């Protein structure tokens, strides 16, 4: 769950600068309550809402945000509080306070279910997650800074949790995979891409996710070039993509990757057999390994030489031993 909200501070304590948002345990969203630092300027929720709106309409955005927030704390269970909470989140978004705004929209989900336009909140949270994903950080003078898409990962995860059947679910799931791929969390990215294909197989993004998953499998195989299990896993994924999406433009690249990894894997099988044959001098083990090579890679470039060597070893084993 996204970052939670802090209980109102007790009377007489100094209020910290929270930048318009209440922070506490990141795994808990805490109900807002009345307190000294959240005292409204009007006597009723209805009057407070009108007052906060007038401040916002007059351009006093910070003061309006403060008054909206005070309304929610003071009259939490009123219809005006729902309206104020939405307005408060919108003001934060307009000011570019994206993470704070996202969490304030999430407060609606947690405490005001069924009392607001759920689709609108999902849209806004999705838009905010996109902004965070594409935001640049560390810019200076003529330097444009850098993007940190991984900062948006928990936001997209929350949107996915909020709207498991939402019409934009495939986009959310795709960004989960893409961000994790950029962050080199390849196994997690593969799971995210696979989930998209399973839940929304007819989505246009299903094909893109299919290639994204195979791309991650290839990167894992390249990172552990001598791991036969990982190489075989990549080959299975590539073969599945080529089979399932034969008309996709990425099939040509997938075929090249399949051939490249297949060549690498066949080399590993051949090296093992040659070791038993030439170095360990264990002909029985060599014959088993050579047979496994031929079964797995009958069209490999070493296949003809291996077949010849198998016949030689079999002939050597069949020949009678010379008496001393």
Number of H-type helices and E-type strands within the chain: 13, 2
pLDDT of residue 146: 55
Contact present, 49 and 84 (Cβ < 8 Å):
yes
215 or 148: which leads in pLDDT = 215
Listed residue (61, 109, 51, 62) closest to 85, CA to CA? 109
Q: What is the pLDDT of residues 104-128, one digit of tens each?
A: 999 999 999 999 999 999 999 999 9
Q: What confidence category does residue 6 fall into, taking pLDDT thresholds of 50, 70 and 90?
A: very low
Contact present, 107 and 5 (Cβ < 8 Å):
yes
Q: What confidence category does residue 137 fall into, taking pLDDT thresholds of 50, 70 and 90?
A: low
State the average pLDDT over residues 248-267.
96
The token pair that represents 267 in the structure block: 């080399």
Q: 211 pLDDT exceeds 80?
A: yes
Distances (CA, A) of 249 to 169, 203, 217, 241, 258: 24, 17, 19, 11, 15
How many residues are listed for the chain in this entry?
324
Contact present, 30 and 6 (Cβ < 8 Å):
yes
The token pair that represents 1 in the structure block: 């769950």
pLDDT of residue 27: 55
pLDDT of residue 38: 87
- The H or E element spanning position 286 is helix 283-296
Q: 19 pLDDT exceeds 70?
A: no
33 or 1: which leads in pLDDT = 33
Q: Which domains does the chain have, with CATH numbers?
A: 1-116 (1.25.40), 265-318 (no CATH)
> Coil, helix or strand for 299?
coil
Q: What confidence category does residue 60 fall into, taking pLDDT thresholds of 50, 70 and 90?
A: very high
118 or 14: which leads in pLDDT = 118
Q: What confidence category does residue 201 fall into, taking pLDDT thresholds of 50, 70 and 90?
A: very high
The token pair that represents 89 in the structure block: 């989140």
The token pair that represents 137 in the structure block: 């950080």
Most confident of 71-75, 264-268, 270-274: 71-75
Q: What is the pLDDT of residues 301-315, one digit of tens each?
A: 999 999 999 999 999
Residues with Cβ within 8 Å of residue 214, at least 6 apart in sequence = 234, 237, 238, 240, 241, 254, 257
**What's phi and psi for 20, nearest 5 deg?**
90, 5
Q: How far apart are the first and last CA of the chain?
A: 81
- CA torsion sign, 36 to 39 to 44 to 45? negative
pLDDT of residue 113: 95
The C-alpha atoms of residue 305 and residue 269 are separated, in whole angstroms, by 14
Mean pLDDT for the chain overall = 88
pLDDT of residue 319: 78
State the average pLDDT over residues 195-218.
97
């Amino acid at each position: 769950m996204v970052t939670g909200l802090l209980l109102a501070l007790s009377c007489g304590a100094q209020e910290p600068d929270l930048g318009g948002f209440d922070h506490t345990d990141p795994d808990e969203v805490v109900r807002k309550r009345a307190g000294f630092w959240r005292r409204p300027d009007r006597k009723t929720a209805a009057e407070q809402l009108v007052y906060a709106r007038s401040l916002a309409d007059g351009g006093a955005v910070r003061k309006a945000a403060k008054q909206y927030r005070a309304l929610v704390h003071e009259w939490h269970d009123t219809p005006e509080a729902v309206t104020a909470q939405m307005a408060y989140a919108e003001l934060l978004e307009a000011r570019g306070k994206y993470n704070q705004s996202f969490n304030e929209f999430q407060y609606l989900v947690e405490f005001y279910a069924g009392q607001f336009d759920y689709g609108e909140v999902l849209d806004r949270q999705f838009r905010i997650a996109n902004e965070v994903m594409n935001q640049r950080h560390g810019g200076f003078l003529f330097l444009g800074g850098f993007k940190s898409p991984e900062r948006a990962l928990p936001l997209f995860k929350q949107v996915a949790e909020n709207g498991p059947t939402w019409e934009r679910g495939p986009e959310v799931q795709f960004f989960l995979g893409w961000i994790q791929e950029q962050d080199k969390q390849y196994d997690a990215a593969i799971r995210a891409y696979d989930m998209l294909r399973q839940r929304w197989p007819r989505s246009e993004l299903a094909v893109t996710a299919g290639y994204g998953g195979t791309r991650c499998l290839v990167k894992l195989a390249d990172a552990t070039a001598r791991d036969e299990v990982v190489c075989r896993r990549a080959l299975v994924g590539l073969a599945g993509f080529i089979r399932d999406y034969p008309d996709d433009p990425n099939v040509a690249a997938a075929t090249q990757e399949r051939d490249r990894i297949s060549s690498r894997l066949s080399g590993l099988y051949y090296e093992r057999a040659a070791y038993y044959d030439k170095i360990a001098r264990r002909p029985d083990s060599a014959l088993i390994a050579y047979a496994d090579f031929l079964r797995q890679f009958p069209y490999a470039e070493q296949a003809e030489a291996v077949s010849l060597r198998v016949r030689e070893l079999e002939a050597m084993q069949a020949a009678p031993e010379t008496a001393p």
